[in-house]
Structure formats: structure tokens, C-alpha cells
Amino acid sequence: MDLQKIADEIVVSLQPRLGEGKVADYIPELARIDPRQFGIAITTVDGETFKAGDADTSFSIQSISKVFMLTLALGKAGEQVWKRVGREPSGSSFNSIVQLEHEHGIPRNPFINAGAIVISDMVLAGHAPREAIGEYLRFMRYLADDETLAIDEKVAQSEQRTGYRNFALANFMRGFGNLDHPVEHTLGVYFHQCALALSCVQLSHAGLFLANRGTNPLTGFSVVSPKRARRINAMMLMCGHYDGSGDFAYNVGLPGKSGVGGGILAIAPGKASIGVWSPGLNKVGNSALGSAALEMLASRTGWSVFGT
């Protein structure tokens, strides 16, 4: 299987659709991005990276960070994590507060905003926000084996100023006793984790441990146990694309996590970690071309977890 050829063909076939979808506009800093960009990077478990298009351009990973923060939180609190956040798809949009009221402040899963904020609160664990953000950044550099990774402070500030919905969610959960820290601290961590800038190549490296039984084959570092890697993949498949998770499973068939910056991390267990990026989003908030690219990739490689 010639992965380079597949990547190149995907870029060519998406060329006419560049600009499709709608760039996220609720974070002012992200609204300015040129939508006519697309990149893909495939890193296999034996350490080879294949890339095409704008695969080295940095973008804001936004909600993709939730996968890495969940990994950190599981490392700190183990299965206790699930006392404060559920594991079920939400059946509603990424920032809905309705279910939170019906279920008394326990978010449905760690990948909707409410759940991710609880996870940030767990990673914070009594430390200053600056320290938790530092820990996250070190973890990401370690995963991607790249010391140049950085958080885009402007994006973080932009969200801090306009993220009313997230302030609402956090205060709401604090009212139910499901946040341990001042709302400003927890959200400080949350906004910064989202503002990490990665390229498709870096993203595919950072997620590679999930494709390889919890160990990063680039560095040999063991990140999580094989069982935990499977479980994180399961959460990604079930809840990684908000209210488009079913569609993504149906059409692509790979665990994946999207962000409103237009990136998607997808995992082919035992095979590869894939980073795609294109800023235009579909109706449920996932990268339109990114989803299309992964559908093509899964179809050509036969990597769907649901059968060949």
C-alpha cells in the first residue's frame, strides 16, 4: 500500500472543494484564517510519516486537546475520572447545557465542552493554572517529540474574552460541586490547552501512541497501557465528533477527534495515526474536507475498525 500516493491523491481530489464549509467565527482569532487550506499527515506505527498539502502549517488544535488532557487525567486519577464525567455520547451539540441540568452537573463525556472542563479541573489538581498549562505543554512536546510546540497566547486570550458559554458551563458545574477550583483558573487551563498550535505532522506524531498499544514508536516511550489506549480510542469513536460521531463512524470507521480549528486526529489501531486539517466546518462543527479526506483514506486503506 503506497500511503504517499494515497495522501497525494486525496489532496488532488479535494482541490476543487477547497474553501468548503464555514470557518469557526465565535473565536475572533480563528475567524481570520484562510479557509482554502488542506493538509494531511499519516504516521505509521513503524515510524514513517507521509504527508501532503499544508501538512506543515500550524493550526489551533482546539478540542483535539481533549484527547491529550483525558490521557493526562487518567494518568493522575485513573478510573476515578468517571465519577465526575460520563462515557456516553451526548446526543446534543458540543456546548449544550441542557443535559448538564438534567444530570445534575455530571457531563455526558469528556469530549463535549462541559466534560473537558471537568477534565481540565482534574489536571489542575490544586496547582496554579500556569503549572498545569506547563505540564500539558511538556506532555505534548514529549508525545510529539518536538520541543518547538507552543501555545498561541492570542488565541487563548481571544477565547478568554468571548467564551461566555464556557463560563456558563463552568459556573453551572461549580454550582453542582463538580469543579474544585475557581472557574477562572479551570477555564484558564482549558483555553490554553485549546490554543496549542500543531501541524498535521506534529499532530500525527502526538497521537501515535494510541495506534501503537500506548507506546510511542518514535521515542519508545510508554505513555499508557494497551488497555487504556484502547479505551481512549473507544471514547474518541463514540464521542469524538459531537453530534456527528455516528456519521463519522458510519462513513470513516476510525476513532477520531475534531476541533473547531479544522483539525482532526484519527487513529487506525495497530496501523497509523493521522492528522488532517482544513478550516471550513460542516454543520455539526467538524472539518468538512478533513472528514472527506478521512473517508477516502479509510476506504483506500481498508483501515476501518469495522471490517475490511
Q: Is 136 flagged in the annotation as binding?
A: no
In the complex, least distance from residue 252 CB atom to its own copies, rounded to whole angstroms = 9
CB-based contact 192:117 (threshold 8 Å): no
Residue 92 near its own copies by CB under 8 A? yes
- Choices 46-54, 116-124, 144-152, 169-177 (CB under 8 A): range interacting with its own copies: 169-177
CB-based contact 12:52 (threshold 8 Å): no
Q: Is 242 flagged in the annotation as binding?
A: yes
In the complex, least distance from residue 22 CB atom to its own copies, rounded to whole angstroms = 18
Q: Is 190 flagged in the annotation as binding?
A: yes
Q: In the chain, how long is the greatest CA-to-CA distance?
A: 54
DSSP run (H or E) holding 204: helix 200-206
| 90 included as an active-site residue | no
Residue 47 near its own copies by CB under 8 A? no
> Concatenated DSSP letters for 62-86?
GGGHHHHHHHHHHHHHGGGGGGTS-
**Segment 49 to 88, residues that bind its own copies, using CB under 8 A:** 86-88
- Choices 2-10, 32-40, 69-77, 207-215 (CB under 8 A): range interacting with its own copies: 207-215
| 26 included as an active-site residue | no
| 260 included as an active-site residue | yes
In the complex, least distance from residue 13 CB atom to its own copies, rounded to whole angstroms = 19
- Choices 28-36, 54-62, 129-137, 298-306 (CB under 8 A): range interacting with its own copies: 298-306
Query: Facing residues of 1 across strands?
Result: none
DSSP state of 287: B
User: Between the CA of residue 234 and those of 229, 255, 256, what are the distances in Å?
Assistant: 9, 7, 9
Which of 151, 127, 130 minimizes the C-alpha distance to 76? 127
Site string for its own copies, 242-281 (x = CB under 8 A): -xxxxx-xx--x-x-------------xx-----------
In the complex, least distance from residue 210 CB atom to its own copies, rounded to whole angstroms = 8
| 257 included as an active-site residue | no
Q: Strand, helix or coil at 99?
A: helix
DSSP run (H or E) holding 102: helix 98-102
Inter-axis angle of helices 164-175 and 113-124, nearest 10: 70
In the complex, least distance from residue 147 CB atom to its own copies, rounded to whole angstroms = 28
Nearer to its own copies, 57 or 162 (CB): 162
Q: Which of 118, 224, 260, 276 is catalytic?
A: 260
Q: In terms of C-beta density within 10 A (0-12 exposed, 13-18 middle, 19 or more buried), how is residue 251 classed?
A: middle
User: Between the CA of residue 292 and those of 1, 21, 181, 235, what are the distances in Å?
Assistant: 20, 12, 40, 21
Residue 182 near its own copies by CB under 8 A? no
Q: Looking at the annotation, which residues are catalytic? A: 63, 66, 190, 242, 260
Sites of contact with its own copies (CB under 8 A): 86-92, 96-102, 108-109, 164-165, 167-172, 174-175, 183, 210-211, 213, 226, 229-231, 233-235, 237-239, 243-247, 249-250, 253, 255, 269-270, 304-308
Residues at the annotated binding site?
63, 113, 159, 166, 190, 242, 260
